[in-house]
Protein backbone atom coordinates (compact mmCIF):
# COMPACT_ATOMS: atom_id res chain seq x y z
CA UNK A 1 0.00 0.00 0.00
CA UNK A 2 1.11 3.53 -0.74
CA UNK A 3 0.24 6.57 1.37
CA UNK A 4 0.00 10.27 0.59
CA UNK A 5 -0.30 13.43 2.64
CA UNK A 6 -3.69 15.12 2.69
CA UNK A 7 -2.34 18.54 1.81
CA UNK A 8 -0.85 20.25 4.86
CA UNK A 9 -3.26 18.58 7.32
CA UNK A 10 -0.71 16.16 8.74
CA UNK A 11 -2.94 13.20 7.82
CA UNK A 12 -1.53 10.34 5.74
CA UNK A 13 -4.11 8.53 3.62
CA UNK A 14 -3.87 5.20 1.81
CA UNK A 15 -4.13 5.86 -1.92
CA UNK A 16 -7.18 3.60 -1.97
CA UNK A 17 -9.90 4.76 0.40
CA UNK A 18 -12.74 2.61 1.74
CA UNK A 19 -16.04 4.26 0.87
CA UNK A 20 -18.54 3.06 3.46
CA UNK A 21 -21.77 4.18 1.79
CA UNK A 22 -22.54 0.54 0.76
CA UNK A 23 -22.55 -0.37 4.47
CA UNK A 24 -25.68 1.78 4.67
CA UNK A 25 -27.42 -0.24 1.94
CA UNK A 26 -27.04 2.61 -0.56
CA UNK A 27 -26.39 0.13 -3.40
CA UNK A 28 -28.61 -2.71 -2.20
CA UNK A 29 -28.83 -4.79 0.96
CA UNK A 30 -25.40 -5.31 2.51
CA UNK A 31 -24.62 -8.31 4.70
CA UNK A 32 -23.49 -6.87 8.03
CA UNK A 33 -21.13 -9.71 8.95
CA UNK A 34 -19.50 -9.61 5.52
CA UNK A 35 -19.18 -5.83 5.78
CA UNK A 36 -17.28 -6.22 9.05
CA UNK A 37 -15.01 -8.81 7.46
CA UNK A 38 -14.40 -6.41 4.56
CA UNK A 39 -13.42 -3.59 6.91
CA UNK A 40 -11.04 -5.83 8.86
CA UNK A 41 -9.48 -7.26 5.71
CA UNK A 42 -9.00 -3.77 4.26
CA UNK A 43 -7.17 -2.65 7.41
CA UNK A 44 -5.00 -5.78 7.39
CA UNK A 45 -4.02 -4.98 3.79
CA UNK A 46 -3.05 -1.40 4.61
CA UNK A 47 -6.14 0.59 3.70
CA UNK A 48 -6.23 3.34 6.32
CA UNK A 49 -8.78 5.86 5.04
CA UNK A 50 -12.46 5.15 5.78
CA UNK A 51 -15.19 7.57 4.71
CA UNK A 52 -18.83 7.61 5.80
CA UNK A 53 -21.68 10.09 6.45
CA UNK A 54 -24.93 10.39 8.41
CA UNK A 55 -26.76 10.40 5.06
CA UNK A 56 -25.58 6.91 4.09
CA UNK A 57 -28.31 4.60 5.29
CA UNK A 58 -29.55 7.48 7.51
CA UNK A 59 -26.99 6.60 10.16
CA UNK A 60 -26.69 2.88 9.36
CA UNK A 61 -23.33 3.19 7.61
CA UNK A 62 -21.82 5.00 10.60
CA UNK A 63 -23.25 2.46 13.03
CA UNK A 64 -21.93 -0.52 11.10
CA UNK A 65 -18.54 1.09 10.53
CA UNK A 66 -18.30 2.00 14.22
CA UNK A 67 -18.89 -1.63 15.23
CA UNK A 68 -16.37 -2.87 12.67
CA UNK A 69 -13.69 -0.46 13.88
CA UNK A 70 -13.76 -1.63 17.50
CA UNK A 71 -10.17 -2.43 18.36
CA UNK A 72 -8.95 -0.89 15.10
CA UNK A 73 -9.74 2.81 15.58
CA UNK A 74 -6.12 3.88 16.01
CA UNK A 75 -5.17 2.20 12.74
CA UNK A 76 -7.41 4.33 10.52
CA UNK A 77 -8.11 7.83 9.30
CA UNK A 78 -11.84 8.22 9.88
CA UNK A 79 -13.92 10.71 7.92
CA UNK A 80 -17.57 11.63 8.16
CA UNK A 81 -19.75 14.54 7.12
CA UNK A 82 -22.29 17.14 8.19
CA UNK A 83 -25.06 18.99 6.39
CA UNK A 84 -26.96 16.28 4.52
CA UNK A 85 -29.24 13.89 6.36
CA UNK A 86 -31.70 12.53 3.78
CA UNK A 87 -32.37 12.81 0.06
CA UNK A 88 -33.95 16.24 0.49
CA UNK A 89 -33.01 17.05 4.08
CA UNK A 90 -30.20 19.55 4.58
CA UNK A 91 -29.16 21.74 7.49
CA UNK A 92 -25.91 23.69 7.29
CA UNK A 93 -26.44 25.78 10.43
CA UNK A 94 -23.72 25.91 13.10
CA UNK A 95 -25.90 24.37 15.85
CA UNK A 96 -26.77 21.44 13.57
CA UNK A 97 -23.09 20.97 12.70
CA UNK A 98 -22.22 20.56 16.36
CA UNK A 99 -25.21 18.30 17.01
CA UNK A 100 -24.39 16.20 13.95
CA UNK A 101 -20.83 15.65 15.10
CA UNK A 102 -22.01 14.45 18.51
CA UNK A 103 -24.44 12.03 16.84
CA UNK A 104 -21.73 10.73 14.54
CA UNK A 105 -19.30 10.24 17.43
CA UNK A 106 -21.91 8.10 19.20
CA UNK A 107 -22.71 6.02 16.13
CA UNK A 108 -19.04 5.56 15.26
CA UNK A 109 -18.18 4.81 18.90
CA UNK A 110 -15.22 7.18 18.94
CA UNK A 111 -14.17 10.42 20.61
CA UNK A 112 -12.76 12.15 17.54
CA UNK A 113 -13.11 12.47 13.77
CA UNK A 114 -9.97 12.78 11.66
CA UNK A 115 -11.63 14.48 8.70
CA UNK A 116 -14.97 16.30 9.01
CA UNK A 117 -16.55 17.36 5.74
CA UNK A 118 -19.45 19.51 4.63
CA UNK A 119 -21.61 17.16 2.58
CA UNK A 120 -22.76 18.23 -0.91
CA UNK A 121 -22.30 21.97 -0.50
CA UNK A 122 -24.19 22.71 -3.73
CA UNK A 123 -27.47 22.09 -1.86
CA UNK A 124 -26.82 24.88 0.63
CA UNK A 125 -26.57 28.64 0.44
CA UNK A 126 -23.01 29.57 -0.46
CA UNK A 127 -22.92 32.52 1.93
CA UNK A 128 -24.08 30.35 4.84
CA UNK A 129 -21.52 27.65 4.01
CA UNK A 130 -18.71 30.21 4.04
CA UNK A 131 -19.81 32.40 6.93
CA UNK A 132 -21.44 29.86 9.28
CA UNK A 133 -20.91 26.20 8.40
CA UNK A 134 -17.18 26.19 7.77
CA UNK A 135 -16.37 28.47 10.74
CA UNK A 136 -18.25 25.95 12.91
CA UNK A 137 -16.05 23.17 11.54
CA UNK A 138 -12.97 25.26 12.18
CA UNK A 139 -14.03 25.72 15.81
CA UNK A 140 -14.37 21.95 16.17
CA UNK A 141 -10.90 21.53 14.70
CA UNK A 142 -9.50 24.10 17.14
CA UNK A 143 -11.18 22.25 20.02
CA UNK A 144 -9.43 19.02 19.06
CA UNK A 145 -12.55 16.99 18.25
CA UNK A 146 -11.65 17.14 14.58
CA UNK A 147 -8.18 16.99 12.99
CA UNK A 148 -8.95 18.36 9.52
CA UNK A 149 -11.89 19.89 7.63
CA UNK A 150 -13.07 19.64 4.06
CA UNK A 151 -15.87 20.33 1.58
CA UNK A 152 -17.50 17.83 -0.77
CA UNK A 153 -19.75 18.12 -3.77
CA UNK A 154 -20.33 17.64 -7.49
CA UNK A 155 -20.15 21.04 -9.29
CA UNK A 156 -16.45 21.75 -9.68
CA UNK A 157 -16.48 25.52 -10.03
CA UNK A 158 -18.65 25.86 -6.92
CA UNK A 159 -16.18 23.78 -4.90
CA UNK A 160 -13.33 25.97 -6.08
CA UNK A 161 -15.23 29.19 -5.31
CA UNK A 162 -16.00 28.09 -1.74
CA UNK A 163 -12.41 26.95 -1.22
CA UNK A 164 -11.18 30.36 -2.35
CA UNK A 165 -13.61 32.08 0.03
CA UNK A 166 -12.58 29.93 3.02
CA UNK A 167 -8.87 29.11 2.66
CA UNK A 168 -8.71 27.47 6.10
CA UNK A 169 -10.05 24.17 4.72
CA UNK A 170 -7.60 21.29 4.48
CA UNK A 171 -9.01 19.39 1.52
CA UNK A 172 -11.64 19.06 -1.21
CA UNK A 173 -13.54 15.88 -2.08
CA UNK A 174 -14.82 15.70 -5.66
CA UNK A 175 -16.84 12.80 -7.02
CA UNK A 176 -17.39 11.42 -10.54
CA UNK A 177 -14.96 13.94 -12.02
CA UNK A 178 -11.82 11.87 -12.51
CA UNK A 179 -12.28 8.59 -14.37
CA UNK A 180 -12.51 7.37 -17.97
CA UNK A 181 -15.80 9.23 -18.51
CA UNK A 182 -14.84 12.50 -16.91
CA UNK A 183 -11.52 14.18 -16.11
CA UNK A 184 -12.82 17.72 -15.55
CA UNK A 185 -11.39 17.72 -12.01
CA UNK A 186 -7.99 18.32 -13.58
CA UNK A 187 -9.30 21.36 -15.46
CA UNK A 188 -10.76 23.09 -12.40
CA UNK A 189 -9.69 21.73 -9.02
CA UNK A 190 -6.34 20.02 -9.37
CA UNK A 191 -4.30 23.11 -10.35
CA UNK A 192 -5.87 25.10 -7.50
CA UNK A 193 -5.32 22.33 -4.95
CA UNK A 194 -1.69 22.03 -5.98
CA UNK A 195 -1.17 25.79 -5.78
CA UNK A 196 -2.65 25.99 -2.28
CA UNK A 197 -1.28 22.63 -1.06
CA UNK A 198 -4.80 21.35 -0.40
CA UNK A 199 -5.59 17.68 -0.12
CA UNK A 200 -7.62 16.34 -3.03
CA UNK A 201 -9.82 13.24 -2.76
CA UNK A 202 -11.25 11.60 -5.87
CA UNK A 203 -14.48 9.79 -4.99
CA UNK A 204 -16.63 7.51 -7.16
CA UNK A 205 -13.92 6.61 -9.69
CA UNK A 206 -16.36 4.03 -11.10
CA UNK A 207 -18.82 6.85 -11.84
CA UNK A 208 -21.28 5.52 -9.24
CA UNK A 209 -21.02 2.03 -10.77
CA UNK A 210 -21.68 3.12 -14.37
CA UNK A 211 -18.13 2.00 -15.22
CA UNK A 212 -18.60 -1.62 -14.11
CA UNK A 213 -19.62 -4.81 -15.87
CA UNK A 214 -22.93 -4.73 -13.97
CA UNK A 215 -23.66 -1.22 -15.17
CA UNK A 216 -25.32 1.81 -13.61
CA UNK A 217 -28.20 1.50 -11.14
CA UNK A 218 -31.61 2.67 -12.38
CA UNK A 219 -31.41 5.90 -10.37
CA UNK A 220 -28.12 7.03 -11.92
CA UNK A 221 -28.24 10.78 -12.74
CA UNK A 222 -25.91 10.74 -15.75
CA UNK A 223 -27.34 11.49 -19.21
CA UNK A 224 -28.69 8.41 -21.00
CA UNK A 225 -26.03 8.68 -23.70
CA UNK A 226 -23.34 8.40 -21.02
CA UNK A 227 -24.90 5.27 -19.53
CA UNK A 228 -25.15 3.70 -22.98
CA UNK A 229 -21.50 4.41 -23.79
CA UNK A 230 -20.47 2.98 -20.43
CA UNK A 231 -22.35 -0.24 -21.28
CA UNK A 232 -20.52 -0.39 -24.60
CA UNK A 233 -17.20 0.05 -22.81
CA UNK A 234 -18.05 -2.82 -20.44
CA UNK A 235 -18.92 -5.04 -23.41
CA UNK A 236 -15.66 -4.11 -25.15
CA UNK A 237 -13.65 -5.06 -22.09
CA UNK A 238 -15.57 -8.30 -21.58
CA UNK A 239 -14.94 -9.31 -25.20
CA UNK A 240 -11.22 -8.99 -24.52
CA UNK A 241 -11.37 -10.91 -21.26
CA UNK A 242 -10.89 -7.77 -19.18
CA UNK A 243 -12.88 -6.02 -16.47
CA UNK A 244 -13.89 -2.39 -17.01
CA UNK A 245 -13.86 -1.50 -13.31
CA UNK A 246 -10.32 -2.79 -12.97
CA UNK A 247 -9.17 -0.71 -15.94
CA UNK A 248 -10.86 2.40 -14.51
CA UNK A 249 -9.28 1.92 -11.08
CA UNK A 250 -5.85 1.51 -12.67
CA UNK A 251 -6.36 4.79 -14.53
CA UNK A 252 -7.61 6.67 -11.44
CA UNK A 253 -4.84 5.42 -9.17
CA UNK A 254 -2.18 6.76 -11.51
CA UNK A 255 -3.19 10.36 -10.78
CA UNK A 256 -0.01 12.11 -9.62
CA UNK A 257 -1.56 14.46 -7.04
CA UNK A 258 -4.78 12.94 -5.63
CA UNK A 259 -4.34 12.05 -1.94
CA UNK A 260 -6.73 9.09 -2.09
CA UNK A 261 -9.12 7.48 -4.54
CA UNK A 262 -12.29 6.64 -2.64
CA UNK A 263 -14.33 3.67 -3.81
CA UNK A 264 -17.38 2.04 -2.24
CA UNK A 265 -16.86 -1.46 -0.79
CA UNK A 266 -18.71 -3.85 1.47
CA UNK A 267 -17.33 -7.33 0.71
CA UNK A 268 -13.92 -8.92 1.05
CA UNK A 269 -13.95 -9.77 -2.66
CA UNK A 270 -14.49 -6.11 -3.58
CA UNK A 271 -11.54 -5.11 -1.39
CA UNK A 272 -9.37 -7.77 -3.05
CA UNK A 273 -10.38 -6.61 -6.53
CA UNK A 274 -9.52 -3.00 -5.75
CA UNK A 275 -6.21 -3.90 -4.14
CA UNK A 276 -5.28 -6.01 -7.16
CA UNK A 277 -5.28 -2.88 -9.32
CA UNK A 278 -2.23 -1.66 -7.43
CA UNK A 279 -0.19 -4.56 -8.78
CA UNK A 280 -1.62 -5.03 -12.29
CA UNK A 281 0.09 -3.64 -15.34
CA UNK A 282 -2.32 -1.37 -17.19
CA UNK A 283 -3.52 -2.75 -20.53
CA UNK A 284 -2.52 0.35 -22.50
CA UNK A 285 -4.01 -0.69 -25.84
CA UNK A 286 -7.38 -1.52 -24.26
CA UNK A 287 -7.27 1.71 -22.28
CA UNK A 288 -6.78 3.62 -25.51
CA UNK A 289 -9.72 1.79 -27.15
CA UNK A 290 -12.03 2.51 -24.21
CA UNK A 291 -11.05 6.19 -24.17
CA UNK A 292 -11.80 6.43 -27.89
CA UNK A 293 -15.19 4.77 -27.42
CA UNK A 294 -16.10 7.12 -24.55
CA UNK A 295 -14.76 10.28 -26.22
CA UNK A 296 -18.16 11.43 -27.59
CA UNK A 297 -19.55 11.72 -24.03
CA UNK A 298 -16.36 12.75 -22.22
CA UNK A 299 -16.94 15.35 -19.48
CA UNK A 300 -20.74 15.20 -19.80
CA UNK A 301 -22.10 16.70 -16.56
CA UNK A 302 -25.54 16.56 -14.98
CA UNK A 303 -27.25 19.11 -12.76
CA UNK A 304 -26.92 18.73 -8.99
CA UNK A 305 -28.05 21.01 -6.19
CA UNK A 306 -29.06 24.64 -6.64
CA UNK A 307 -29.22 25.70 -10.31
CA UNK A 308 -26.98 28.72 -9.79
CA UNK A 309 -24.10 26.50 -8.67
CA UNK A 310 -24.10 24.04 -11.57
CA UNK A 311 -21.13 23.83 -13.91
CA UNK A 312 -21.46 25.27 -17.43
CA UNK A 313 -23.08 22.82 -19.84
CA UNK A 314 -24.65 20.60 -17.14
CA UNK A 315 -27.84 18.89 -18.34
CA UNK A 316 -30.87 17.75 -16.30
CA UNK A 317 -30.43 14.47 -14.47
CA UNK A 318 -31.08 11.40 -16.57
CA UNK A 319 -31.79 13.39 -19.73
What residues act catalytically? 56
Residue 230 lies in a domain: no
CA pair distance 261, 271, nearest whole angstrom = 13
Three-state SS letters, the chain: CCEEECCCCCCEEECEEEECHHHHCECECCCHHHHHHHHHHHHHCCCCEEECCCCHHHHHHHHHHHHHCCCCHHHCEEEEEECEEECCEECCCHHHHHHHHHHHHHHHCCCCEEEEEECCHHHCCHHHHHHHHHHHHHHHHHHCCEEEEEEEECCHHHHHHHHHHCCCCCEEEEECCCCCCCCCHHHHHHHHHHHHCCEEEEECCCCCCCCCCCCCCCCCCCCHHHHHHHHHHHHHHHHCCCCHHHHHHHHHHCCCCCCEEEEECCCHHHHHHHHHCCCCCCCHHHHHHHHHHHHHHCCCCECCCCHHHCCCCCECCCC
Q: Which of 185, 4, 174, 154 is nearest to 77 (CA)?
A: 4
CA angle 78, 180, 312 (to 5 degrees): 90
Please indicate, yes or no, if residue 301 is contained in any of the structural domains.
no
What is the model's pLDDT at position 80?
98
Asked if residue 36 belongs to a domain, the reply is: yes
Q: Would you mind telling me the total number of residues written for the chain in this entry? A: 319
- pLDDT tens for the chain, 319 residues long, are 999 999 999 999 999 999 999 998 777 788 999 999 999 999 999 999 999 999 999 999 999 999 999 999 999 999 999 999 999 999 999 999 999 999 999 999 999 999 999 999 999 999 999 999 999 999 999 999 999 999 999 999 999 999 999 999 999 999 999 999 999 999 999 999 999 999 999 999 999 999 999 999 999 999 999 999 999 999 999 999 999 999 999 999 999 999 999 999 999 999 999 999 998 777 899 999 999 999 999 999 999 999 999 999 999 998 9
- Write down the pLDDT at residue 241: 95
CA distance 13 to 75: 11
How far apart CA 308 and CA 123 sit, in angstroms, is 10
In-domain check, residue 306: no
Which of 49, 52, 260 has its CA nearest to residue 174? 260
Q: Which residues pair with 117 in a beta bridge?
A: 81, 150
The total number of structural domains in the chain stands at 1
Alpha-carbon gap, residue 165 to 163, rounded angstroms? 5
State residue 151's pLDDT score: 98
Residue 294 inside a domain? The answer is: no
Q: How many CB atoms lie within 10 A of CB 111?
A: 9
**Inside any domain, residue 33:** yes
Domain with 23 in it: 3-219+243-282
Cα 136 off chain centre by: 22
Per the domain annotation, does 299 fall within a domain? no
What is the per-residue pLDDT for 236?
97
In a domain, 103, yes or no: yes
CATH number, domain containing residue 17: 3.20.20.100
Amino acid sequence: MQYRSLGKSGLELSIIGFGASPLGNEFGEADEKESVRAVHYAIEQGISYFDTAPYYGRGLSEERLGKALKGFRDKVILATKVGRYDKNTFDFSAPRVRQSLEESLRRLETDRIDLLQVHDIEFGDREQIVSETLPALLELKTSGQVRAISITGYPLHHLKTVAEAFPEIDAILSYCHYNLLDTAMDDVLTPYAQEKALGLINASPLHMRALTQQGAPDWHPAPKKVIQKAREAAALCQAQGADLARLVMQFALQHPYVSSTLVGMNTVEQVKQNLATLEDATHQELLKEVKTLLAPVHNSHWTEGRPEYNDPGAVPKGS
